[in-house]
Structure 1
């Protein structure tokens, strides 16, 4: 293990490999992966339905693109968190929380987005809510707490 790796991993490897830690990290990564998959499929649907202005408007294009980018980052943060990166853990906590709030706003906005996208965003929000609950739980907070 390099000195830089020892500094980045300010906790015991046994803590990271504890069965409950592994389960929480694996679940967060899977939920983030599901969020990414749904987001990519939604962008593909937007491309397919681009000629129907009642289904795909400019707001849908912008939101769909932003969601794919944020989902890619969220998945990358979850993957690096699962490998023990404290910085990625912090970024995962922030990004997932911010996106849940943004999704709630999208769903609440009247008229801007078609119903199909609000439903899709609701599904993404549920996946991210799972990530938020996992990474903000006492086990993960204690594992990644500054020592």
Structure 2
């Protein structure tokens, strides 16, 4: 398995973590409703978890890889729903932040769903 892929995945997840923590800092400075705090904290925790999963996947752990694939496909869909919802409770600045997070996570989805990466994590019982 090409570790360059996992280094890029880890870097993208670290970027999501940094952005999410910065979002909580902005919420502390300018004030944020409960939706901002809940979403910001949840995304920060999820990003930390994904950084850890990227390390496990880089070491060949299939379950970590499968979780990353699932999250990186599902999360951008959820983010799009937040962005298009007319009265979601998210202020414009947080919708912009979530758009950036969505792009970063979608980039990970593109990386981990490439054929070479998928083939490095065969289903149990399959060798190739």
After TM superposition, is the score higher than 0.5? yes
Deviations 1:17-62 (A, max 9, x none): xxxx222121111111111111111112112222xxxxx2221111
Name the residue aligned to 2:49.
73
Backbone CA RMSD of aligned residues: 1.2
Q: Distance in 2 between matches of 1:138 and 1:120?
A: 30
Aligned equivalents of 1:43 and 1:30: distance in 2? Answer: 20
d(CA) in 1 for partners of 2:46, 2:72? 9
Quote how far apart the aligned CAs of 1:101 are. Answer: 1.3
Tell me how far 1:127 sits from its aligned partner.
0.5
Look up the match of 1:9: none
Alpha-carbon distance in structure 2 between the residues aligned to 1:100 and 1:74: 14
Task: Tell me which residue corresponds to 1:30.
Answer: 11
Quick one: distance in 1 between partners of 2:104 and 2:59? 21
Contact 1:29 1:82 in 2 (8 A): no
Task: Answer with 1 or 2: which has the greater Rg.
Answer: 1
**TM value normalised by structure 1:** 0.78
Residue equivalent to 1:60: 36
Secondary structure of the 1:145 match is coil
In 2, the alpha carbon distance for the partners of 1:85 and 1:100 equals: 24
Gaps of 5+ in 2: none
Give the count of matched residue pairs: 123
Greater than 4 Å deviation, 4+ residue runs: none
State which of 69, 85, 92 in structure 1 corresponds to 2:68: 92
